[in-house]
């Protein structure tokens, strides 16, 4: 699937800098950003929140047969990362897949996400690297 | 006069390494002869999702962390590389947004073979000195490639370094100058996958002449001699050239030693002399004077003199040391290397 350039551009700043939201009333954090707090509902006060991106691997799986646009990256690990600042986020875990383990500490890194063929746009964003 | 120079610096080197032994095994060459000839043991290899832009962002993050400034106060971003991912669309546009530098920002990509990063530093220095901007971010980064079987394959590697240039520096920039001529020692035509070079090694009229001339020009301007410097850093196409250039100019092996990161990561092109500088800064003391001379084929050299200030002590540990990146490594075999570098055209 080739993602449209305008859609990708709107999501870009959020994708590059892990900008989510936080409910000022109950302190719950959201990524991707939500503009409505499901707990506080109408009493919720939503504001932007920048995550540091540090956390640990909550679960992961190794992709060996990849969708279009990701073929050149196999094998690669995708996982759920439990962020230190609350909430979990899914994403790719970079490097040698044999080193990935549940509970391992991760930090965010800026990488190529996908390219639209040899002549298309290159999409960049945050992935996770194992610490140490 | 207010002192200007490097406010923060940052390094980045990809994690994978391939050894000279492993490459020599594939091509049936003698590894010991090559290691001795080049003064390189292994080189860094980027992961499949790393490129000049991602390396520039990681180095830039580290430079901003050391500078301790808001990213939005950076007024100019110049990224120097000979492996920009796009032929048309500046790497700096992505790097600037990824580092959250805002939109009130001058951006351009620089190209001058391996000295595009130091050219970026000179431009930032000029803009800050003229009072046009408060801070400039200069980055040199590359993911360079040698043709399979070519000698360059043993050294062409990946890495980068970034420098925030502004007031209240951790290393004052005393002065800078360049020496430039039209010399075709190494080139790559638009659309070609790999570079071509004039000979197996491009020594005397190219590297040595330009590095020596630029350094002597700088020493003359400042009225300094090699003994006035604590450390010297030269562009490192291999481990031998900088050693010979330093000796020819009258610098001692001890002055050069710490900069020679090339032995363990190879030639990171636009990142090469700059990663030598970040490694020297990691161990520098207030009062140290550091010489930096880059080299870019084509050809030219940029020379700088830096005077380390007290600020180095409080800022140094705010980002990972160059040595931390050099030591955090994983060796790969040639098959993996080919796949990572997409050398097999499918
Ligand atoms: Zn709430």
Minimal C-alpha gap between B287 and chain A (Å): 33
Q: Is B235 a catalytic residue?
A: yes
Q: Read off the pLDDT of residues B229-275 as tens digits, 9 standing for 90 and up.
A: 999 999 999 999 999 999 999 999 999 999 999 999 999 999 999 99
Contact between chains at A72 and B51 (C-beta distance less than 8 A): no
Distance (Å) from CA A58 to ligand 1 centroid:
24
Q: Which of B82, B153, B172, B174 is catalytic?
A: B82
Within 10 angstroms of residue B205's Cβ, the number of other Cβ atoms is 13
- Among A110, A112, A128, pick the best mutation site for testing chain B contact (most B Cβ within 10 A): A110
At A9, the pLDDT band (50, 70, 90 cuts) reads: low
Q: Which domains does chain B have, with CATH numbers?
A: 4-340 (3.40.47.10)
- Quick one: closest CA in A to B98, which residue? A16
Write a three-state SS string for chain A: CCCCHHHHHHHHHHHHHCEEEEECCCCCEECCCCCCCCCCHHHCCEEEEECCCCEEEEEEEEECCCCCCCHHHCCEEEEEEEECCCCEEEEEECCCHHHCCCCCEEEEEEEEEEECCCCCCEEEEEEEEECC
Q: What is d(CA B259, CA A93) in angstroms, rounded to the nearest whole number?
A: 32
Q: Read off the pLDDT of residues B181-206 as tens digits, 9 standing for 90 and up.
A: 998 877 777 777 777 776 545 677 89
**pLDDT reported for residue A7:** 60
Residue bearing tokens 């990561």 = B265
Characterize A30-66 residue by residue with b for buried, 16 or more Cβ atoms within 10 angstroms of its Cβ, and e for exposed. Answer: bbeebeebeeeeeebebeebebebebbbeebeebeee
**Interval B321-325 mean pLDDT:** 98
**pLDDT reported for residue A1:** 44
CATH number of this structure's domain A52-132: 2.40.50
Q: Is B124 a catalytic residue?
A: no
Tally A–B CB contacts below 8 A: 45
Distance (Å) from CA A86 to ligand 1 centroid:
13
pLDDT over 90 (residue B62): yes
At B345, the pLDDT band (50, 70, 90 cuts) reads: very low
**pLDDT reported for residue A2:** 52
Smallest Cα–Cα separation from A126: which of B98, B267, B236? B98
Judged by a CB distance cut-off of 8 A, whether residue B328 touches chain A is yes
- Among A124, A128, A129, A132, pick the best mutation site for testing chain B contact (most B Cβ within 10 A): A124
Looking at residue B127, the DSSP 8-state letter turns out to be H
Distance (Å) from CA A89 to ligand 1 centroid:
19
Distance (Å) from CA A30 to ligand 1 centroid:
10
Q: Which of B50, B58, B84, B114 is catalytic?
A: B114
User: Quick check: B304 and B173 in contact, CB under 8 A?
Assistant: yes
Minimal C-alpha gap between A112 and chain B (Å): 5
pLDDT over 70 (residue A8): no
Q: Read off the pLDDT of residues A65-116 as tens digits, 9 standing for 90 and up.
A: 988 878 878 899 999 999 999 999 999 999 889 999 999 999 999 999 988 8
Q: Is B82 a catalytic residue?
A: yes
Q: Read off the pLDDT of residues A46-77 as tens digits, 9 standing for 90 and up.
A: 999 999 999 999 999 999 998 887 887 889 99
Query: B151 versus B17: which is more confidently predicted?
Result: B17
Contact between chains at B58 and A109 (C-beta distance less than 8 A): yes
**pLDDT reported for residue B202:** 63
Cα B173 to Cα B136, B140, B181, B290, distances in angstroms: 14, 18, 25, 10
Residue bearing tokens 């490459």 = B23
Percent of chain B's residues with pLDDT above 90: 87
Percent of chain B's residues with pLDDT above 70: 97
Query: What is the predicted ipTM?
Result: 0.91
**pLDDT reported for residue B205:** 83
At B151, the pLDDT band (50, 70, 90 cuts) reads: confident
Q: Read off the pLDDT of residues B302-314 as tens digits, 9 standing for 90 and up.
A: 999 999 999 999 9
Contact between chains at B57 and A113 (C-beta distance less than 8 A): no
Phi/psi at A81 (nearest 5 deg)?
-105, 125
């Amino acid at each position: 699937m080739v993602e449209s350039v305008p859609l990708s551009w709107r999501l870009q700043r959020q994708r590059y800098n892990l900008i989510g939201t936080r409910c000022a009333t109950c302190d719950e954090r959201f990524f991707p950003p939500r503009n409505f707090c499901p707990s506080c509902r109408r009493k919720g006060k939503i504001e932007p929140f920048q995550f540091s991106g540090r956390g640990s691997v909550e679960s992961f799986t190794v992709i060996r047969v990849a969708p279009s646009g990701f073929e050149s990256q196999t094998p690669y690990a995708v996982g759920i990362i439990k962020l230190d600042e609350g909430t979990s986020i899914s994403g790719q875990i970079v490097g040698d897949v044999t080193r990935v383990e549940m509970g391992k500490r991760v930090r965010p890194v800026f990488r190529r996400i996908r390219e639209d063929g040899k002549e298309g746009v290159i999409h960049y964003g945050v992935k996770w690297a194992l610490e140490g | 006069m207010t002192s200007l120079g490097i406010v923060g610096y940052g390094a980045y080197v990809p994690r994978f390494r391939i050894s000279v032994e492993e490459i020599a095994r594939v091509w049936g060459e003698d590894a010991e002869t090559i290691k001795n000839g080049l003064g390189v043991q292994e080189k860094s290899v980027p992961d499949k999702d790393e490129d000049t832009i991602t390396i520039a962002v990681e180095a830039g993050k580290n430079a901003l962390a050391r500078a301790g400034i808001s990213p939005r106060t950076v007024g100019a971003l110049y990224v120097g590389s000979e492996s920009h991912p796009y032929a048309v669309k500046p790497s700096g546009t992505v790097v600037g947004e990824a580092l959250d530098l805002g939109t009130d920002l001058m951006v351009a990509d620089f190209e001058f073979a391996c000295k595009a990063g130091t050219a970026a530093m000179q431009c930032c220095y000029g803009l800050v000195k003229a009072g046009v901007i408060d801070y400039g971010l200069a980055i040199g980064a590359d993911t360079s490639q040698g043709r399979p079987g070519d000698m360059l394959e043993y050294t062409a590697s990946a890495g980068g370094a970034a420098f925030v240039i502004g007031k209240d520096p951790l290393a004052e920039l005393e002065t800078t100058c360049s020496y430039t001529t039209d010399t075709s020692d190494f080139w790559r035509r638009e659309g070609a996958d790999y570079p071509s070079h004039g000979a197996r090694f491009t020594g005397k009229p190219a590297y040595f002449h330009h590095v020596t001339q630029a350094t002597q020009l700088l020493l003359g301007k400042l009225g300094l001699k090699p003994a006035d410097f604590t450390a010297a850093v030269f562009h490192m196409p291999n481990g031998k050239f900088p050693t010979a250039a330093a000796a020819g100019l009258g610098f001692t092996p001890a002055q050069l030693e710490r900069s020679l990161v090339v032995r363990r990561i190879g030639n990171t092109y636009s990142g090469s002399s700059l990663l030598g500088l970040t490694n020297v800064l990691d161990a520098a003391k207030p009062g140290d004077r550091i010489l930096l001379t880059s080299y870019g084929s084509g050809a030219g050299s940029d020379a700088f003199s830096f005077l380390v200030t007290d600020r180095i002590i409080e800022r140094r540990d705010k980002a990972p040391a160059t040595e931390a990146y050099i030591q955090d490594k994983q060796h790969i075999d040639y098959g993996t290397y080919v796949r990572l570098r997409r050398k097999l055209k499918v």
